[in-house]
Every structure is written in structure tokens, then in C-alpha cells.
């Protein structure tokens, strides 16, 4: 584990580059849990709760969907344990999507004194987390923030009774309580001990590092604040976590330190997290947008002259390419002449044919070398924005449409009865008809990809240009048309085994 701030920054840069891999790993774990849900109503409902907890720090909306489903099923089963677990988990997540009032009502409807002892730790932990989130979101209103902070502190005091003393969870609660009481020195001791006992990929490590950064800020220790914020951001990234706020705070700190490039990179990722309803904090997001805009403006003034230089170099490159193309035209003309000679001279036909092919090979190699040279020069001059402009527009959509057209026609030639086979497990009034142009509808294309073995939701979303939630929605759309939706997956699997 790196120890200096510079080492941490380098490690975080690498982790940011691989962030999609970490998120995809978590998404794959969730997909596996969904695929392996039990047919037993009780076990399936418990599975919904476990899936939601996995989603909590990844996509709050998805977590809430599963918890509402679990809560409804738990009530229909009249299972008090499942009802309690689903409601507590739901209340802990609702503040992330601006539903604080509903979350508070859920907790206030529970009489903690009447709860069995084995439920109390989950109740007090959930209440402490919920009120902490609400307190953080009310920072702009100090009186309200302090009110909810006091509630969180009270619940933490109760929660500590149900953890072994000196355990990581107990140390986290203790550090939070010391911090709320203003005893920052004691909070630092407990927080450091917590970080020493937990791994950086543990969610508790990330929360502890974020707390230590806040304590350092309260003490006016900028270097420690920066150091612990780095630890929190690295922990979030390695876990594929979108809930934490360390990465966003780190972007602000880096901007204040003049590291504009990293600040822009980290804030962009943090704002992407906010779009999933995770770690969303309206005033911080607004500040992030202002910081990015200010950074762009300052860089634009420095890059204005560079833009003219780039334009001049592009004109020069175009002239060079024009000259090269004229030379290639002469090469082609020479090749044609050689070809004519081959046709006229019967005795030397094989020799001239070999020369003709050799010239073609040389021409193609030179064109390829020219292309690589131009790209290297552009890359060396840092023309990323120029490349983005060139790549923008309708090109990708057109390429994707062409790709889908080729895939659809090829798939239907290989599996000509696929749509008819799929219709056999759908209700008669919900069956599909292939359009005259031979293109598959989105849900049929998803079913086709599943048919050829592409079941990974993240990979399928990347191939089709959709979000994972859209893939789930299309799958659900097809399942809703099934004759028996409870056996649809098994029936479709049976179709996929046909030759």
C-alpha cells in the first residue's frame, strides 16, 4: 500500500483508468445473484434484500426497486423478519434519492424497545447511517444539520452496545461520536486504529478515511485532510463504489492545489456517480460544475495560440498528404503500365504479374505507414480534442446501425426459425413479426445475443450502446409476453439448446 500522497495519486490514477472493470465486476456479481434467485418465496425475498444491499453503493434506484419488491413480498408472506429487514434497508437508502421524509417515517414507526435483541444492531446501525446522510445533506442549514447529527449520535451510542469493544465497527462508531462531541484528538486515535485494522477494499475503510478527512479539516490540517481524502477516494474506486463523496472532495482539493487535469478527471467521475443517484450533494455538484467551467476557461486562454499552431500544422499535413496522394497516383499509373506490359509480353507474364503484385504491396504498405505516421504526430501534439471532434456526430450511430443490420441479417440466416421458436413460448397476441427490412427490434436483438451465448449484461450493454437498466427493461418486456413468465427463463434456455 502506498504511503505518500504522490504514490496514492499515482495508484488512484491507475484505479480510475480501471474503474469500469471494478464496476463491471460488481455488476456481474449482482447478475449472478439475480440468475440464482431461489424459487422459494421466502428465500427469493431474502435474495431481493441481498441484491439491494449490493446495489446500494452502485445504483440507488435499482436498490430501491428490489427493496420495495422485497417489502411487498414480505408482507404477503407475513414474515416479520423479512418485513423488518426490507424496511430497515429501504430506509437507509431513501435519503440518497431525496426521500428523507419516508425514511424517517419508517424508522419512527418502529419501537426499538420492542425489537428482539438480535434485530437491534441492524436497527440502530441503519438509523445512525440514515440520520448521518440527512445531516450531511443539510449542511447549508446548520441548525437542521446539527439536529439530525445529534439523532445519528444517539443511535450510534445504542449501536455500540451490540458490537464487541475495539472491533472495527465499534471503533468507527466511537470515532464518529468523538467527532460529533468535538473531541477531534480522540476521534483521530479511534479512526487511525480503524484504518489499521481494515483493508482498503473494505467499505468501512472508505467511510473511516472520509471521516478522518473531515476531522483533519476541522483541525485545520490541510495535508492530513488531503491524505485521508486520497485514501477514501482510492477505497471507493477499488470497490466500484458510487456512494462515497471522497472523490468529489478530492477534486475540489486538487483544484485548489492547481492540479487542474486531475481535478477535472476526478470531478467528471464524481459527477457520473451523481447521475446514478449516488453520493449526490446538490451544492457540491454545483461547485463541481463551476470548477470545471472555470478550469476550461483558464485552459482555453492558454490553448488559444496552440489551437492556431495546430491548425497550421493540419494544413501542412494536408499538403503533405496531397503530395503523397499525387505520388501514389503516379504509382498506380505505373502499375497499370506494367500490367499492360504483362498482357502484351506473353513470355514474361509471370514475371510482370509478380512485379505488379509487389508494387501493390509496396503501395499499400506506404499508405499504412503514412497513416500511422500521421496518427503518431497528432498524438504527440496532444490532439485528443481534435480527434474527439472528428469522431463526433453521427458516425458512431451510422456504424452501429450498419453493424446491427449485418448482425440481424447474418443471425437470421444462421437461425432462420429463431423468431418462430421464440413465439412458441409467448402468448398468441404478443408474438413477434420480423419487419420487412429484416431488422430485429431491440428486445429481439437482446434475445438473439442471449441465444448465441452473450449473457453478461454489462458486455451486452456495451455492445448495443444501452445502459444495463435498459437491458433489464427489455428482458422484462419479453418475459411479460410469455405464456408462463415463471418458467420463461427455463423455456428460453431450452430454445437456445436447439441446433
The pLDDT score that the predictor gives to residue 283 is 53
As a whole number of angstroms, the distance between CA 57 and CA 30 comes to 12
**DSSP letter at 439?**
P
Interval 228-271: pLDDT, tens: 999 999 998 888 887 778 888 888 888 888 888 888 888 888 77
Interval 463-480: pLDDT, tens: 788 889 998 998 899 999
Is residue 207 in a domain?
A: no
Can you state the angle between helices 80-93 and 41-55, rounded to 10 degrees?
Answer: 20
Is residue 255 in a domain?
A: no
Same domain, residue pair 383 and 418: no
Same domain, residue pair 358 and 399: no
Q: Which residues contact 372 (CB under 8 A, 6 or more apart)?
A: none
Is residue 202 in a domain?
A: no
Q: Which of 329, 358, 391 is the last residue of a domain?
A: 391
The pLDDT score that the predictor gives to residue 6 is 87
Same domain, residue pair 413 and 491: yes
Q: What are phi and psi of 393, to 5 degrees?
A: 95, -145
Is residue 147 in a domain?
A: no
As a whole number of angstroms, the distance between CA 295 and CA 286 comes to 14
Same domain, residue pair 418 and 444: yes
The pLDDT score that the predictor gives to residue 342 is 53
Same domain, residue pair 408 and 359: no
Same domain, residue pair 406 and 492: yes
DSSP-derived secondary structure for 148-168:
HHHHHHHHHHHHHTTS-TTSH
Q: Which of 369, 391, 413 is the last residue of a domain?
A: 391
- Contact in structure between 228 and 207 (CB atoms under 8 Å): no
Q: Output the CA–CA distances (angstroms, integers) from residue 230 to 3, 202, 223, in the order listed.
A: 11, 15, 11
Same domain, residue pair 383 and 405: no
Name all contacts of 295-298 with Cβ < 8 Å and 24+ positions apart. Answer: 295/255, 295/260, 295/263, 295/264, 298/260
The pLDDT score that the predictor gives to residue 266 is 84
Same domain, residue pair 372 and 448: no
> What is the per-residue burial (b if ≥16 Cβ within 10 Å, else e) of 193-217?
bbbeebebebbbbbbbbbbbbbbbb
Number of separate domains in the chain: 2
Is residue 357 in a domain?
A: yes
Q: What is the mean pLDDT of the chain?
A: 80
The pLDDT score that the predictor gives to residue 76 is 92
The pLDDT score that the predictor gives to residue 368 is 57
pLDDT lower than 50: segments of the chain: 1, 279-280, 282, 344-363, 366, 370, 374, 385-386, 389-390, 393-395
Same domain, residue pair 399 and 490: yes
Same domain, residue pair 370 and 350: yes
Same domain, residue pair 376 and 404: no
Q: Output the CA–CA distances (angstroms, integers) from residue 295 to 265, 302, 439, in the order listed.
A: 11, 11, 45
The pLDDT score that the predictor gives to residue 402 is 65
Q: Which of 368, 391, 414 is the last residue of a domain?
A: 391
Domain range for 360: 304-391
- Contact in structure between 229 and 246 (CB atoms under 8 Å): yes
Is residue 258 in a domain?
A: no
The pLDDT score that the predictor gives to residue 285 is 54
The pLDDT score that the predictor gives to residue 350 is 43
Is residue 437 in a domain?
A: yes
Kindly report the length of the chain: 499
Is residue 15 in a domain?
A: no
Same domain, residue pair 360 and 377: yes
Amino acid at each position: 500500500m502506498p504511503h505518500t500522497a504522490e504514490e496514492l495519486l499515482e495508484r488512484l490514477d491507475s484505479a480510475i483508468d480501471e474503474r469500469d472493470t471494478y464496476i463491471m465486476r460488481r455488476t456481474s456479481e449482482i447478475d449472478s445473484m439475480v440468475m440464482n434467485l431461489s424459487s422459494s418465496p421466502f428465500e427469493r425475498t431474502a435474495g431481493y434484500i441481498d441484491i439491494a444491499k449490493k446495489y446500494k453503493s452502485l445504483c440507488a434506484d435499482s436498490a430501491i426497486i428490489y427493496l420495495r419488491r422485497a417489502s411487498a413480498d414480505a408482507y404477503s408472506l407475513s414474515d416479520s423478519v423479512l418485513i423488518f429487514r426490507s424496511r430497515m434497508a429501504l430506509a437507509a437508502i431513501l435519503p440518497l434519492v431525496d426521500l428523507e421524509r419516508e425514511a424517517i417515517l419508517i424508522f419512527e414507526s418502529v419501537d426499538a424497545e420492542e425489537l428482539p435483541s438480535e434485530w437491534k444492531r441492524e436497527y440502530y446501525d441503519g438509523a445512525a447511517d440514515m440520520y448521518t446522510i440527512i445531516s450531511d445533506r443539510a449542511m447549508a442549514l446548520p441548525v437542521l444539520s446539527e439536529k439530525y447529527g445529534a439523532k445519528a449520535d444517539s443511535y450510534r451510542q445504542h449501536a455500540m452496545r451490540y458490537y464487541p469493544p475495539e472491533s472495527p465497527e465499534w471503533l468507527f462508531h466511537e470515532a464518529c461520536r468523538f467527532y460529533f462531541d468535538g473531541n477531534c484528538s480522540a476521534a483521530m486515535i479511534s479512526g487511525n486504529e480503524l484504518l489499521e485494522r481494515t483493508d482498503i477494499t473494505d467499505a468501512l475503510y472508505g467511510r473511516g478515511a472520509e471521516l478522518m478527512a473531515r476531522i483533519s479539516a476541522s483541525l485545520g490540517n490541510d495535508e492530513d485532510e488531503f491524505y485521508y481524502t486520497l485514501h477514501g477516494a482510492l477505497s471507493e474506486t477499488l470497490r466500484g463504489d458510487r456512494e462515497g463523496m471522497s472523490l468529489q472532495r478530492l477534486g475540489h482539493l486538487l483544484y485548489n492545489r492547481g492540479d487542474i487535469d486531475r481535478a477535472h478527471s476526478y470531478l467528471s467521475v464524481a459527477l457520473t456517480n451523481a447521475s446514478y443517484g449516488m453520493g449526490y450533494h446538490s451544492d457540491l455538484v454545483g461547485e463541481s460544475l463551476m470548477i470545471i467551467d472555470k478550469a476550461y476557461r483558464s485552459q482555453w486562454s492558454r490553448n488559444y495560440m496552440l489551437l492556431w499552431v495546430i491548425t497550421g500544422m493540419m494544413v501542412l499535413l494536408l499538403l503533405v498528404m496531397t503530395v503523397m496522394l499525387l505520388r501514389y497516383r503516379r504509382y498506380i499509373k505505373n502499375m497499370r503500365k506494367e500490367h499492360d506490359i504483362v498482357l502484351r509480353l506473353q513470355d514474361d507474364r509471370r514475371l510482370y504479374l509478380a512485379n505488379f503484385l509487389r508494387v501493390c504491396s509496396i503501395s499499400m504498405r506506404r499508405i499504412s505507414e503514412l497513416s500511422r505516421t500521421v496518427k503518431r504526430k497528432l498524438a504527440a501534439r496532444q490532439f485528443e480534442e481534435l480527434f474527439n471532434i472528428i469522431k463526433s456526430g453521427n458516425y458512431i450511430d451510422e456504424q452501429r446501425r450498419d453493424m446491427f443490420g449485418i448482425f440481424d441479417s447474418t443471425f437470421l440466416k444462421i437461425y432462420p426459425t429463431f423468431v418462430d421458436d421464440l413465439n412458441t413460448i409467448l402468448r398468441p397476441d404478443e408474438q413477434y413479426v420480423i419487419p420487412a427490412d429484416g431488422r430485429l427490434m431491440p428486445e429481439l436483438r437482446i434475445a438473439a445475443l442471449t441465444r448465441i451465448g452473450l449473457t453478461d449484461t454489462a458486455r451486452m450493454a456495451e455492445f448495443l450502446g444501452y445502459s444495463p437498466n435498459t437491458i433489464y427493461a427489455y428482458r422484462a418486456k419479453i418475459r411479460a409476453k410469455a405464456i408462463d413468465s415463471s418458467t420463461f427463463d427455463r423455456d428460453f434456455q431450452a430454445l437456445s439448446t436447439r441446433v
